[in-house]
Amino acid sequence: MTETVTVETSSDDLTDILAALAPSIPYDDGEYVGELALDHTTLTTVAAGYTTKYGTVSETKVISNLDRNDMSYVPATTVKNGRTLSLAGVEWQVTGTDLVGETLSPSSWQAVATYTASTSWQAATGYVTTAEYHGEVVSEGIESVTYTVVYTGAETVPAEGGNSSSSGTNPLAGLAGSPLLAIGGFMLLALAAGFGVLLFMRRKNVYVYIPGDRPRDYKLIAKFRADEKYPSIDLRKAEPYPTGVVAVEVKRPLAKELVGQNFTVQCQEGDYVYAIHRGDGDDWHEFNVDTLTPIT
């Protein structure tokens, strides 16, 4: 059994995704139960949606060995990762001095320039992960029923000179001495008879064949149960679906009831209808299932 589970996480990190998925899940559909385990190879993660976010890109450049703190030395723009940034501010720093008379004066400078630009991008609002759980499940239905029969009452002792119930020819003779045993025996016989009738009513009475590897050699591919009130079979779902010549054999009990009536074979190409001609034995009819034409 395979069960598909979907979870949502704020990130697409595998650790976060696995934390949201249980290692195994119970399965119970009312008929089958079992335990299904996570198949890590089936994880599929996609963005749940997107939103636009805004921010600032910045870059700092140091321009050294300047003889004065002159803005003409500082470029108005710079490029970072293909994006043009504009000058946002400059910090001037003295890097050297000279003695002029009795006073130290700056002789060299460096500019620390800061560049910025506004930016926007699409960010995921969350992530949806689909995973499959696999495992074996079993049916909790009743597989079989065991009946225990308990016989009660006094033992029946045959009269002297009489025949023992175990030596008689009638299998129900021993039940005559006890009404409960007699009733139980007849109920068992009725149950067996009913079961036999049910099997008889459900037995297949239409066989379908295709030609074999040798002349006049046919291979059985399907059996159906047809009713004289609705004389038809559905060949459309046969596995494998036949092609070419198909032979339909209607067994004698059903053929006897259908003499002179039409019999329908539902095919993928359409319905093929023919008349039942004989009732003294099995009725055999061949046709081409591809063209719905009889084989004479």
Closest CA to 76 of 42, 116, 136: 116
Q: Is the pTM of this model over 0.95?
A: no
Phi, psi of 273, rounded to the nearest 5 degrees:
-120, 130
What pLDDT, on a 0 to 100 scale, did the predictor assign at position 203? 82
d(CA 20, CA 43): 12
Q: What is the dihedral angle through the alpha carbons of 213, 219, 221, 226, rounded to the nearest 10 degrees?
A: 140
Please report the pLDDT score of residue 124 as a whole number: 92
Torsion of CA 38, 44, 49, 52, to 10 degrees: 120
Model pLDDT for residues 217-233, shown as the tens digit of each residue: 888 999 999 988 889 99
| N-to-C CA span, the chain | 50
98 forms bridges with which residues in the sheet?
105
Which two tokens mark 276? 């039942």
- Peptide bond connecting 240 to the previous residue in cis, omega within 30 degrees of 0: yes
pLDDT of residue 31: 82
In single-letter form, the type of residue at position 184 comes to G
Predicted local confidence at residue 183, as pLDDT: 75
User: Which sign does the torsion angle of CA 205, 208, 212, 214 carry?
Assistant: positive
Decide: 249 and 282 in contact? Cβ < 8 Å: yes
Structural contact between residues 67 and 108, judged by C-beta atoms closer than 8 angstroms: yes
DSSP symbol at 270: E
Low-confidence ranges of the chain (pLDDT < 70): 140-143, 161-182, 190, 192-202
**Nearest alpha carbon to residue 50 among 128, 134, 119:** 128
| Six-digit token string for 13 | 């990190």
Output the pLDDT for position 161: 58
Angle (nearest 5°) at CA 193 between 187 and 197: 145
Rg for the chain (alpha carbons), in Å?
46
Phi and psi at residue 185, in whole multiples of 5°? -65, -45
Cα 153 to the chain's mean position, in Å?
A: 57
Residue 25, beta-bridge partner list: 36
Domain ranges of the chain: 2-50+125-139, 52-122, 155-202, 206-294
Contact present, 246 and 286 (Cβ < 8 Å): yes
| pLDDT recorded at residue 197 | 55
Instruction: Encode burial over 201-228: b for 16+ CB neighbours within 10 A, e otherwise.
Output: eeeebbbbbbbeeeeeebeebbebebee
At residue 153, the pLDDT reads 85
Residue-wise pLDDT tens digits, 28-43: 888 889 999 999 999 9
d(C-alpha 175, C-alpha 183), whole Å: 8
Q: d(Cα 79, Cα 115) in Å, to the nearest integer?
A: 9
